[in-house]
Structure 1
Amino acid sequence: MAARDNLTKNQLLVLEKLEAATGPLSAYTLLDLLREQGFRAPLQVYRALDALMDAGFVHRLESMSAFVACSEPHDHNHRMIAFAICDKCGQVSEFSDEVVGRQLDTWVGSTGFTAKKAIIEFRGVCAKCAAMAA
């Protein structure tokens, strides 16, 4: 993961909003939250998000077209990240496991397919929401 010192002002503002959020945020929600800090166009947000993703500070949740701050210290080079997303409260838990990543690489590779990355998203109910429903 790159150092926060190397982030631009816009990247740092976007990252701070994501870190403070209680759930995933879309680029347009980020734009609305950052208008007072001088953000005027979606492109400003998308550029910051792209750089933050490349640096390993942010992940995109494909199924939601939304973004979350990276919550786990892990090596982003092994290409396998999984998320558990609560459909009730929006909480996102991040998982990264090198052993599982290697097993998936082996399985996918056995088909002749060359994978660049894997993002696995589990949708359901977190333990806190499940306990409240019981």
Structure 2
Amino acid sequence: MSAHAHPELTKNQSLVFGSLSEAGGPLTAYAILDLLRESGFRAPLQVYRALDKLVEYGMVHRLESLNAFVACAHTGCSAHGTAAFAICEQCGDVREFTPDEAIRALQDWTGTQNFKLARMTIELRGTCGKCLEAAV
């Protein structure tokens, strides 16, 4: 989803989203702050406020295990509320995907357990194919 799909983005939200989009991988809030200091960012709170809204809009995802954020690779993430990521522990590559069958199974489980799901992020940690090939 591009920044212009949400015309209500503030300047700070647009700058944060742009930083994540250009990064091509996950960034911590402090890394974003460092990138945006020349654009007037002075405090982590400015970055976190922008990130909170971008996550709410489904344009950015938080990678819990890395305590970092990544621009959404799919349109419509805010509609299904679930993101899945394969994270390479060697090169740091992060790939977003949608495992529909697994998501349905987890949603079914929450229904049978009377558990109200707020959000779901699936993170797979391991080694990507490129790193596996390089190790051979």
In structure 1, the residue corresponding to 2:7 is in which secondary structure? helix
Deviates more, 1:108-117 or 1:61-70: 108-117
Show CA shifts across 1:52-83 (max 9, x none).
11111100001111000001123423232211
Tell me, yes or no, if the aligned pair for 2:59 and 2:78 is still in contact at 8 Å. no
* Equivalenced residues, count: 134
Q: Which residue of 1 aligns with 2:103?
A: 101
1:61 corresponds, among 60, 63, 66, to 63
Tell me, yes or no, if the aligned pair for 1:80 and 1:97 is still in contact at 8 Å. no
2:11 corresponds, among 9, 12, 28, to 9
Measure the CA separation in 2 of the matches of 1:13 and 1:75: 20
- Please give the TM-score of this superposition, normalised by the length of structure 1: 0.90
Measure the CA separation in 1 of the matches of 2:27 and 2:116: 31
Measure the CA separation in 2 of the matches of 1:17 and 1:58: 11
Measure the CA separation in 2 of the matches of 1:98 and 1:86: 21
2:115 corresponds, among 98, 113, 130, to 113
Q: Which residue of 2 aligns with 1:52?
A: 54
In structure 2, the residue corresponding to 1:100 is in which secondary structure? helix
- Please give the TM-score of this superposition, normalised by the length of structure 2: 0.89
Tell me, yes or no, if the aligned pair for 2:17 and 2:60 is still in contact at 8 Å. yes
Tell me the percent identity: 54
Deviates more, 1:89-98 or 1:62-71: 89-98
2:31 corresponds, among 8, 20, 29, to 29
Matched AA of 2:41: F
Give the aligned CA root-mean-square deviation in angstroms: 1.7
Measure the CA separation in 2 of the matches of 1:23 and 1:81: 15
Runs (5+) with no aligned partner, structure 2: none
In structure 1, the residue corresponding to 2:65 is in which secondary structure? coil
Q: Which residue of 2 aligns with 1:80?
A: 82
